[in-house]
Amino acid sequence: MFETLSQRIRAAVDKLRGRGRITEADLKATLREIRMSLLEADVNFEVAKGFVQSVQEKTLGAQVLESLTPAEQILSVVYEELVKMLGGEAKQPVLKSEGNLWFMVGLQGSGKTTTSGKLALFYKSKGRRPLLVAADTQRPAARDQLRILGERIGVPVLEVADGERPETTRTRIQQHLTFDYRDLVIVDTAGRLQIDEALMGELAKLKGVLGPSETLLVVDAMTGQEALNVSKAFEERIGVSGLILTKLDGDARGGAALSARHVTGKPIYFAGVSEKIEGGLEPFYPDRLAQRILGMGDLQTLLEKAKAAELEAPDKALKDITLEDLITQMRQLRKMGSFTDILGMIPGMSRMLPAGFQVDERQVNRMEAIVLSMTPKERRDPKILNASRRKRIAAGSGTTVQEVNRLIKTFEDTKGMMRTMQKQQGRGRGLFRR
């Protein structure tokens, strides 16, 4: 998802690169392209229009930062607006010490049952004691599906009988809570293929009786704009406190996912990123998604620069990259998740990596320890690292001289490789952009 959009927005901004000055007409042309890419990605029309308008206003009104090129300045405004469109700060559902009852609603096939299981596992692994309630009496196999899922992840499942009255369900849940202390009840409810008045009535009634602390709407991001109509209908009829977008790993254009927050006004709490229960659900971070869409490598450097807003040698020539830069980059990346996750965020990369590929994080930690044991001078100029210095570094970092040698060799090789890549690409892009 988002790959075409990502490529197009980046191409639009790239056209401005290398220019010292841009006119208002240049800006408008770029914004037109961004608007087209958003619409082609199936972003809601009003959302796309509003987005481009704010970018334009902000860019024209912006103070010119000497440390940023015009292309970089536009990119940073686009980034800010994208984060805003996706909801700004990441939000999580309210979780009290007890008495949490989450009501899961959504169309049939949206991923409600799967997501209920994923949520149970997610919070179980954080030390919570979830109880799953299989109240989907519409889809014949849904209760079986949830029961099997519960057995697999070690979470009890309470099954609602056909025609059971909501009051009975409430009593049964309470009994369960009393006998087997549970602090988070997740109720998987019935869905239909389309919005259906009778179903909405039933759901509204069940919700009224159970009195959930959160009502989470599960939305299939693959269904495009239709997903937004569905969301509005659920909000009007049942009331929704937050969204969970599923199937973000699919190859749909992604516009619905991008517009959902804005159109519904509800926070997106989680994203479903795989069919698997284990690891198939991630908290939704607007800033990370925006970074992924705009190309993370570019942005890391850029945001750092925008923040510092200092002149200090803004763009480093590749040959000047030091081990210190390497550590800074690694730390910034680390803040965004594990290296394996990060590789997966790079558009197209997930398909290139073998299934189950894992970066050895311990290895990364050791590399970091080695670099940290060097003096600043050594980090800037590894050439001075003679045998005795290498020995000292190995001792300081709890590694071996062989490992220190390997790191320095890898670093030099990478520099060489990047230099070649950059020559091939003309003006290079990526982590170490010139």
CA distance 389 to 397: 12
Q: Quick check: 112 binds ligand GDP (CB under 6 A)?
A: yes
Q: Quick check: 108 binds ligand GDP (CB under 6 A)?
A: yes
Q: Quick check: 111 binds ligand GDP (CB under 6 A)?
A: yes
Residue 191, annotated ligand binder? yes
Q: What DSSP character marks residue 187?
A: E
Q: Quick check: 278 binds ligand GDP (CB under 6 A)?
A: no
98-132 in b/e burial notation, b at 16+ Cβ within 10 A?
A: eebbbbbbbbbbbbbbbbbbbbbbbbeeeebbbbb
Q: Quick check: 138 binds ligand GDP (CB under 6 A)?
A: no
Segment contacting ligand GDP by CB under 6 A, of 23-31, 33-41, 79-87, 268-276: 268-276
Residue 192, annotated ligand binder? yes
CA distance 295 to 291: 6
Nearer to ligand GDP, 61 or 140 (CB): 140
Q: Quick check: 114 binds ligand GDP (CB under 6 A)?
A: yes
CA distance 244 to 280: 12
The two structure tokens encoding residue 340: 């394996």
Residue 231, C-beta contacts closer than 8 angstroms, at least 6 positions apart: 217, 219, 240, 243, 260, 263, 264, 266
The two structure tokens encoding residue 48: 């796309």
Nearest of 201, 219, 293 to residue 263 by alpha carbon:
219
Residue with smallest beta-carbon separation from ligand GDP: 272
Nearer to ligand GDP, 139 or 433 (CB): 139
Segment contacting ligand GDP by CB under 6 A, of 106-114, 158-166, 309-317, 330-338: 106-114
Least distance (Å) from ligand GDP to the CB of residue 224? 16
CA distance 369 to 91: 34
Q: Quick check: 246 binds ligand GDP (CB under 6 A)?
A: yes
CA distance 217 to 235: 9
Residue 246, annotated ligand binder? yes
Segment contacting ligand GDP by CB under 6 A, of 102-110, 308-316, 355-363, 368-376: 102-110
Q: Which residues pair with 186 in a beta bridge?
A: 102, 132
Nearer to ligand GDP, 246 or 397 (CB): 246
CA distance 140 to 364: 48
Could you tell me how many residues make up the chain? 434
- Judged by CB under 6 A, the number of residues near ligand GDP is 20
CA distance 100 to 167: 18
Residues 191-230 that bind ligand GDP (CB under 6 A): 191
What pairing do the DSSP bridges indicate for beta strands 214-220 and 184-189?
A: unpaired
Nearer to ligand GDP, 73 or 110 (CB): 110
Task: Return the residue of 87, 212, 254, 272 that touches ligand GDP, per CB under 6 A.
Answer: 272
Q: Quick check: 59 binds ligand GDP (CB under 6 A)?
A: no
Taking residue 346's Cβ as centre, other Cβ atoms within 10 Å add up to: 15
Least distance (Å) from ligand GDP to the CB of residue 221? 8
Task: Return the residue of 110, 223, 259, 301 that touches ligand GDP, per CB under 6 A.
Answer: 110
Annotated binding site: 106-113, 188-192, 246-249
Annotated binding site for GTP: 106-113, 188-192, 246-249
Residues that bind ligand GDP (CB under 6 A): 106, 108-114, 139, 142, 191, 246-247, 249-250, 272-275, 280
